[in-house]
Structure 1
């Protein structure tokens, strides 16, 4: 049997976008019978069943990156195909066909939203990976368009494979929802954002929108859920500046088991990101039948379709109007919740895994 190795080292115990993508993809691939012997490079404290695991342990992102660039390439000779679940393949020549998954081009489109160091690493490695890769998987048509535009590559080696929805749904048990609200110090009704705290997510403007809504009389709290990413301090400073400390709740990282409860308890989910390669959080909210307000930008319309409210992510009045329309209209909330649930069924991790395996077939026959 031909041997395939998936580099899933970005998956960790506090995974966000790419980590969650990798966990779900590797888990599903492991459950599908194939003609390949598939292994996955995984951090030691991650439990993934149904697939052969090669464990590694790194105490920092820098150590992992150095190992991926300088140490691990020596091990790739034992495999016929390597799949990197993000843009980062080795600069060293590995003399094996490989696939990369590029989730977005935010470091090119919004360079100011990254620290200097993280941006430089991406700017050095990504062009080399793109040039050498035998196939490039992207999460959306929008990312494919950006990829071809930025790198001027032949689009025939690019494959669009949408990620899947989570395997949970709306929780109706009010007692369980109340318990998770208590865990994260949330009282009463709330507007929810969930994602990494970083500039690209447009959270400062969301806080300004919320301040406007408070002045217009809304009583719902704003819950900003997710772990701190980079350049996040201005978000906290904005909350203090607007004297919203009692109304804006920061949860920090939300455990995966708590997500469906947190979504299910929200009146509306707001995701007015400046740029997305896909947009898993809105899809998670839709899976829980929660109405979403999203930017009419990048890939988000591919995810949300006609089941959400679209706003101009750079216009405070536009965002405020979108949120207000859902908060004040129960019929609209229920309608969008139902439409979102139906729309979410189009995204399935098993289909995602099968499409990725078909790309392996393209390269190995």
Structure 2
């Protein structure tokens, strides 16, 4: 039995990293060869999940960032006890006597600091220096992220591995009546193009608006509030298409979640998005608003194309699962201890 400590503090937040943390930690607990213990600290939220072995602390992330990334005089074992492996979050890199694993979801603060808050960029630079000198294995969520990380860091290639993220079983086509009620609750139009909002210019929203001018456009996080994770399948299923021509993603969870929910996807032909979309998405140059507009028109108005994309999307989404992600992560732990 391998005893693994894992920092799940990101669950307190919103976005792709918390989804990864929640789904992976839950599926790792089902691995019979692992004994899991979890570190959770947040001032925002109290942990109310179903994981066993959660060590809870009500302290701010800034304090642990100072303690683990700067002072570095207290090990994670002080909080969670002895372990064989410690899997850190993307925020802190605490000292540990155990083998150390971390996950890189993207390198936005390091490669594109103009798209990040200066505080986040500073934390990530400090943490990277520790990772470069101490880490035993880095999990990257796409080949694109791995390539970028190797470019901007001194981490050896042999200390990196790609393990794709998954798509939860809650993402599937939704009942028509439930969709109708959802649209009424959020005052959504009968037919609309869905885009995903975000901080800075990374989501390419200026061109999204320009290319969507002939259709009703709903930007999640702007035109409607961020919906809960449990409501995301309804949001996807309510839309005519996911329009996701981002400049950069570490993986692209909305792509496979939308496909599993039964809607076509238009996304960018750069970074990790072709890895997530496979042959089931329509790809565009995110710099070319004219091409984006043309492809959107095709998907919105060509019924046979829509049906083909939806069918391919179901097949593509099935390639990704959190169970598979957990099994491959468990194998990383096992191989580290055999060295």
What is the TM-score normalised by the length of structure 1? 0.85
Asked if the contact 1:10–1:22 (Cα under 8 Å) also holds between the matched residues in 2, the reply is yes
Q: Give the equivalent residue in structure 1 for 2:263.
A: 290
Asked if the contact 2:269–2:286 (Cα under 8 Å) also holds between the matched residues in 1, the reply is yes
Confirm whether residue 270 of structure 1 aligns to residue 270 of structure 2. no
The alpha-carbon distance between structure 1 residues 194 and 158, as it changes in their structure 2 partners (threshold 3 A), is: same
2:87 to 83, 87, 103: 83
Asked if the contact 1:268–1:293 (Cα under 8 Å) also holds between the matched residues in 2, the reply is yes
The alpha-carbon distance between structure 1 residues 156 and 179, as it changes in their structure 2 partners (threshold 3 A), is: same
Deviations 1:66-124 (A, max 9, x none): 4554589434262222101326313xx43432111011111222211112222122122
Distance 2:26 2:210 in 1: 40
Distance 1:225 1:184 in 2: 11
Q: Give the equivalent residue in structure 1 for 2:332.
A: 359
Q: How does 1:221-300 map to 2 (within 5 A)?
A: 221-226=216-221, 250-300=223-273
The alpha-carbon distance between structure 1 residues 67 and 153, as it changes in their structure 2 partners (threshold 3 A), is: closer
Q: Give the equivalent residue in structure 2 for 1:16.
A: 15
Q: Name structure 2 gaps, 5 residues minimum.
A: none
Confirm whether residue 144 of structure 1 aligns to residue 139 of structure 2. no
Distance 1:26 1:286 in 2: 24
Distance 1:2 1:272 in 2: 42
1:340 to 305, 313, 321: 313
Displacement of 1:323 in angstroms is 1.1
Distance 2:6 2:259 in 1: 29
- Paired residue total: 331
Displacement of 1:46 in angstroms is 3.2
1:39 to 9, 14, 37: 37
RMSD: 2.1
Confirm whether residue 313 of structure 1 aligns to residue 286 of structure 2. yes
Displacement of 1:291 in angstroms is 0.3
Moved more, 201-210 or 330-339: 201-210
Displacement of 1:172 in angstroms is 4.0
Asked if the contact 1:168–1:260 (Cα under 8 Å) also holds between the matched residues in 2, the reply is yes
Asked if the contact 2:243–2:265 (Cα under 8 Å) also holds between the matched residues in 1, the reply is yes
SS in 2 for 1:317: helix
Asked if the contact 2:8–2:38 (Cα under 8 Å) also holds between the matched residues in 1, the reply is yes
